[in-house]
Every structure is written in C-alpha cells, then in structure tokens.
Chains A and B, each alone.
Chain A
Amino acid sequence: QSVLTQPPSVSGAPGQRVTISCTGSSSNIGAGYDVHWYQQLPGTAPKLLIYGNSNRPSGVPDRFSGSKSGSSASLAITGLQAEDEADYYCQSYDSSLKVFGGGTKLTVL
C-alpha cells in the first residue's frame, strides 16, 4: 500500500475536465508538506507536472492545475486531449522520506 492514496483509474472524453485526487494523512500532506505531480507517458520516465502544490514548470500547459486542502491534493486537467493519456503520480514528504501515490491511469475515451 502506498502512503498516498490515488484512484487507480479515471477517464474522460476529449475536451472534458478530469480531476485526480491524492489523499494523505497528518504525517505528510496534513502536516503541511507540499504535493508534487508527475506525468508518466507509456514507456517513458516520469516528468514533473506540478510542484509546490500548484506551480507549473515552464512548458507545462495551463490546462494542468494543482490544489491542496487539508490532508488531500488534487490535479485537474481541463480541455482533455488524447496526448494526456498517461499515468499520474502525486508525491510528498513523510518521516524524512519522499513518498508517492500508487498512480492513476488516465484514459481519454
């Protein structure tokens, strides 16, 4: 079991909005530690998508946004595109460890 809990899968049609949740606890997200998000396209390495809860690195489209509240965080993707089909992972900090969610597979219908 992962320290951070994500839904195994989500799906949406092109153009729609989807959200991916990341639920932690009082020892990680709830303790105030930041949440980061990664996109892993099939057969490739993870790529930083959101850092510090809601910041986008240069080059990441503004269709991707992140938020955090209490012990949970969310990644939202608007204007869904076929190229967004990938695995998405959240990451935070817990007891001196960097911890990841189990990953969510996004399917674009």
Chain B
Amino acid sequence: QVQLQESGPGLVKPSQTLSLTCTVSGGSISSDDNYWSWIRQPPGKGLEWIGHIYYNGNTYYNPSLKSRVTISVDRSKMHFSLRLNSVTAADTAVYYCAREYLGGNWFDPWGQGTLVTVSS
C-alpha cells in the first residue's frame, strides 16, 4: 500500500525558507483520484491544513498561508515538496504529508511527520 515519508532540515532560522519533501512509495503519484497534501501541528496543538497539489501541478493553498507557501510535484522522482518562506517561531511544528481522497477529502495515509523548529 501507499507509504509517505517526509524529509528535510529540522532547524530553520527566522526569515529563511522551510523546505520539505514527501516521497511516495507503494503506489502512483500520478493517480487521478487523489491530491497530495501538507498538514502541520504545532507542539501540543491541533492540526492545520496547509495546501495540496494534484499530479498535474494544480495547487490550492490555505489562504492564511497562501502568500508564503509553494507546493510542487516531481512525478519522475515520486515526490512532492513544500516551501514556506519568511518563517517565524509560529511556524515551528510537526509537518505531515498525506494523501487526500479527491471525492471525500479525507486523509489517508499520513507520513510519520517531521519536526521543524524555527530558531536562530
């Protein structure tokens, strides 16, 4: 079955750019019945949907982050990526990638998550 794995730096300095990659295995990243999403969870807090990308590159972002977020896909490498610029301490969180079912908008499966700390 499909498995997702996040990777990227665990520490980012304030005002710099957070960059993460999610590698998809066990299935096709070019499937037309799902999106690929990023979700984050600040320590001790709830979940926030960041945005998603379709296999053809179409994206949709949470308006609260839209000005700072870019999600891209590389089908040849079977991965999709998140870039969040101008980060502050408020962006410190565990970042998850997940498959989002197009018809129902639920997330399954999720990657294991990666903690990104914004600190100088």
Contact = CB atoms under 8 A, between A and B. Distances in A.
A46 B94 CA distance: 12
Nearest to A34: B104
Interface residues of A, number: 24
Given A98-B37, A98-B105, A46 B111 contact: no
A52 B48 contact: no
A91 B106 contact: yes
A51 B104 contact: yes
Interface of A: 2, 33-34, 36, 38, 44-48, 51-52, 57, 89, 91, 93, 96-103
Given A34-B104, A100-B48, 17 more contacts: A38-B107, A45-B111, A45-B112, A47-B108, A47-B109, A47-B110, A48-B109, A51-B101, A52-B104, A52-B106, A93-B105, A97-B62, A98-B107, A99-B49, A100-B47, A101-B46, A103-B46
Interface of B: 37, 46-49, 60, 62-63, 96, 100-101, 104-113
